[in-house]
Amino acid sequence: MQRTRFVIADIGLELSSQDYLPLMAVLPNFENFYVEEFPFDITVIRFEFIEDDFVIKEDDYKLLSDISIVWGDNFKFMESENSYVTVVDELVRADDTVWIMESDKTFMNSRIYFDRKKLEGSTALSWLIMVAFGQASLRYDTALIHASVVIKDAQAVAFLGKSGTGKSTHSRLWVKYIPGFSLLNDDNPAIRIVDEETVYIYGTPWSGKTHCYVNKKAKLMSLVRLQQAPYNRFVSKKGKEALMELLPSFTALRWNKEIFSTMINLLENIINSVHVGHLDCLPDQDAAELCYENIK
């Protein structure tokens, strides 16, 4: 059995298969997170690769969703009594390739059914691993968020917002105009509560279109939701208002009450320890400096 191991946000990922798979070549964005052995007593999310077809019996599965922001209608998410099944129809080398991931109800153990000939050039595999990691990690005070993050001296600020809002642009403005800041992640960092008062944010292998796969962590100082406006204005948020600023950027299965409730509890703990703000802004230097001064 071949086993390939990674550590992301202090959580282990183990990918296993009966025969050799060139996983490091297929998952180049994971390179900085590779480990030969796991640290002692680490939580491990496991994936087994099955080179075979997975037969979906419609009577055994309930369709929960057939649309995805990433895959459009080339996607299905289904539930049976004991598992979830994620189906992605990916275009690889002008051929349709169907990827299927069967996960237990906790997402701690998944089987990925694949065609070896279609491994090279695929983006679906990385995405499927991200889906399982995002759900399984919630029970360990960890969450993937949709955000762009800048870091300086082991302290970080995360920018939230709808796609197209300008998160990446705002990060670039900080890097350009505010000395000492660099980009940690540009799409899907991980947040982890390590004790009741300390929240860290981590780089991950998932950074959208920006090749920024930094294996670092930093203390999270602020989460700021951006909104485009013809002016620059910063407002700090607390309590329920802070929760509503964060909720759209966190992901949990709304069909799984346990996972969804875990995410809400995690959010409540985060806003007790991390500053939350809202920035109406233009894509300019003044917006970055206004945001920085308010957080500082």
* Cβ 251 vs Cβ 146: under 8 Å: yes
Read off φ and ψ for residue 189, nearest 5 degrees. -75, 170
Architecture of domain 143-295: Alpha-Beta Complex (3.90)
So what's the pLDDT on residue 73?
A: 83
Beta bridge partners of 200: 192, 219
So what's the pLDDT on residue 67?
A: 85
So what's the pLDDT on residue 146?
A: 95
So what's the pLDDT on residue 93?
A: 56
- In sequence order, which residues have a C-beta less than 8 Å from that of residue 193 and are 6 or more positions away? 141, 142, 199, 266, 269, 270, 273
Residue pLDDT tens, the chain, 296 long: 899 999 999 999 999 998 888 888 899 999 999 999 999 889 999 999 998 888 887 778 899 998 888 888 889 999 999 999 999 987 665 567 789 999 999 999 999 998 888 887 788 899 999 999 999 999 999 999 999 999 999 999 999 998 888 999 999 999 999 999 999 999 999 999 998 779 999 999 999 989 999 999 999 999 999 999 999 999 999 999 999 999 999 988 888 999 999 999 999 999 999 999 999 999 999 999 999 999 98
* Cβ 16 vs Cβ 49: under 8 Å: yes
DSSP state of 257: H
The pair of three-digit structure tokens given for residue 237, joined into one six-digit string: 């948020």
* Chain centroid to CA 144: 4
* Chain centroid to CA 175: 22
Amino acid at 164: G
* Chain centroid to CA 182: 20
Domain locations along the chain? 2-140, 143-295
Q: What is the pTM of this model?
A: 0.94
Read off φ and ψ for residue 3, nearest 5 degrees. -130, 130
Q: What three-state secondary structure class fits 134?
A: helix
